[in-house]
Chains A and B, each alone.
Chain A
Amino acid sequence: MSKVRVLVGTRKGAFVLTSDGKREQWEISGPHFAGWEIYHLKGSPVDPNRLYCSQSSGWFGQMIQRSEDGGQTWEAVGNKFAYEGVPGTHQWYDGTPHPWEFKRVWHLEPSLSDVDTVYAGVEDAALFRSTDGGQSWGEMSGLRGHGSGPHWAPGAGGMCLHTILLDPSDEKRMYIAISAAGAFRTDDGGATWRPINKGLRSQYIPDPDAEVGHCVHHIAMHPSRPGTLFMQKHWDVMRSDNAGDLWQEVSGNLPTDFGFVIDVHAHEPETVYVVPIKSDGEHFPPDGKLRVYRSRTGGNEWEALSKGLPQENCYVNVLRDAMSVDQLDKCGVYFGTTGGQVYASSDAGDSWTAIVRDLPAVLSVEVQTLP
Chain B
Amino acid sequence: MIRVELPGHLRTLARVQGDVRLEVEGAVTVRRVLDALEAKYPMLRGTIRDQVTQERRAFLRFFACEEDWSFESLDAVLPEAVASGREPLLVIGAVAGG
Interface residues of A (CB under 8 A from B): 34-36, 57-63, 76, 79-82, 102
Contacts and interface: CB of A to CB of B under 8 A. Distances in A.
B84 interface: no
Given A58-B59, A58-B97, A76-B13, A63 B47 contact: yes
B71 to A, nearest CB: 18
B11 to A, nearest CB: 12
Contacts of B94: 59
B59 A59 contact: yes
A296 to B, nearest CB: 44
Contacts of A57: 9
Given A76-B43, A79-B51, 9 more contacts: A57-B9, A59-B7, A60-B7, A61-B57, A62-B46, A63-B43, A80-B51, A82-B51, A102-B52
Contacts of A82: 51-52
B75 interface: no
B44 to A, nearest CB: 9
A61 B50 contact: yes
Interface in B2-58: 7, 9-10, 12-13, 42-43, 45-48, 50-52, 57
B12 to A, nearest CB: 8
Given A79-B46, A80-B45, A60 B9 contact: yes
Contacts of B47: 60-61, 63
Contact of B9 (A36, A76, A79, A80): A36
Contacts of A58: 59, 96-97
Interface residues of B, number: 21
**Chief secondary structure at chain A's binding surface:** loop
Interface majority SS (helix, strand, loop, mixed), chain B: loop
Contacts of A102: 52
B46 A59 contact: no
B52 A59 contact: no
B29 to A, nearest CB: 22
B13 A63 contact: yes
A58 B95 CA distance: 12
A141 to B, nearest CB: 15
A62 B48 CA distance: 11
Nearest to B43: A76
A79 B38 CA distance: 13
A59 B57 CA distance: 7
A89 B96 CA distance: 29
21 contacts: A58-B96, A59-B9, A59-B94, A59-B96, A60-B7, A60-B9, A60-B10, A60-B57, A60-B60, A61-B47, A61-B57, A63-B43, A63-B46, A76-B13, A76-B42, A79-B45, A79-B46, A79-B51, A80-B45, A80-B46, A82-B51
B93 A59 contact: yes
A34 B12 CA distance: 10
Contact of A61 (B43, B46, B96, B97): B46
Given A35-B9, A76-B13, A80-B51, A59 B45 contact: no
Contacts of B9: 35-36, 57, 59-60
Nearest to A80: B51
A227 B57 CA distance: 43
A102 B52 CA distance: 10
Nearest to A61: B46
A57 B10 CA distance: 11
Interface in B43-95: 43, 45-48, 50-52, 57, 59-60, 93-94
In the A-B complex, list the 4 residue pairs whose CB atoms are closest, starting with the nearest.
A76-B43, A60-B47, A59-B59, A80-B51
A79 B13 CA distance: 13
A7 to B, nearest CB: 20
A79 B42 CA distance: 10
A80 B46 CA distance: 7
Contacts of B93: 59-60
Contacts of B45: 79-80
Contacts of A60: 7, 9-10, 13, 47-48, 57, 60, 93
